[in-house]
Amino acid sequence: MAPIILILNGPNLNMLGTREPATYGHETLADISKLCADTAAELGLSTEFRQTNHEAELIDWIHKARGRCAGIVINPAAWTHTSVAIRDALVACELPVIEVHLSNVHKRETFRHHSFVSPVALGVICGLGSGGYRAALQHFSHLVKE
C-alpha cells in the first residue's frame, strides 16, 4: 500500500476563496485538496486531507497518525503562533512534519513571525500559495523512497 501522508489544515482555512483573497488568493480548500490528491497520485503517495476549527480535533488526528502515516503536512493557520499543544502533539507522533503557509508570514504582522511548530518541523514552506502543499508532497515522495 502507498505510504499515507496526512495533510492537516487549521482554523478559518475552510473559508479560503472568500477569506482575504488579496492575502490568500482565490483558490478554495476544495481546490487545494484536489491539487494534493492529483499530486499524490502522480507521486505514488496516498493522502488524507482534513481541516478543522477545533484544536482538540487536530491534536487527536495527529496522535492517531503515529505508526500509521509516513509524514504530516500541516498548515496550522493561527494556531502556528499560539499552540504549544500542537507542537507537543507533533513531537509525540514521531513523524516527519512539513509546515506550510499560503502567505509569506514574514512579510506580515510581527505576531505571525513566531511559530511554535517550525522548531519541530523538518522544513517550512511559506508564501507559495497552494504550491507549498505540492512542494511538501514532492519532498515526502523523495523521503519515503530513501
Q: Give the distance from CA 21 to its chain's centroid.
A: 19
Nearest CA among 40, 69, 55 for reference residue 137: 40
Question: How far is it, in rounded angstroms, from Cα 94 to Cα 123?
Answer: 15
Among residue numbers 20 through 39, which ones bind ligand DQA (CB under 6 A)? Answer: none
77 binds ligand DQA (CB under 6 A): yes
Per-residue x/- track, 103-122, ligand DQA (CB under 6 A)? x-x------x----------
Q: Which is nearer to ligand DQA, 1 or 22 (CB)?
A: 22
CA dihedral over 124, 6, 36, 56, signed as positive or negative: negative
Tell me the Ramachandran region of residue 123: left when phi exceeds 0, alpha when psi lies from -120 to 50, beta otherwise. Answer: beta
Q: Which is nearer to ligand DQA, 3 or 25 (CB)?
A: 25
Among residue numbers 2 through 21, which ones bind ligand DQA (CB under 6 A)? Answer: 12
Known binding-site positions = 75, 81, 88, 102-103, 112
Sites of contact with ligand DQA (CB under 6 A)? 12, 75, 77-78, 80, 101-103, 105, 112
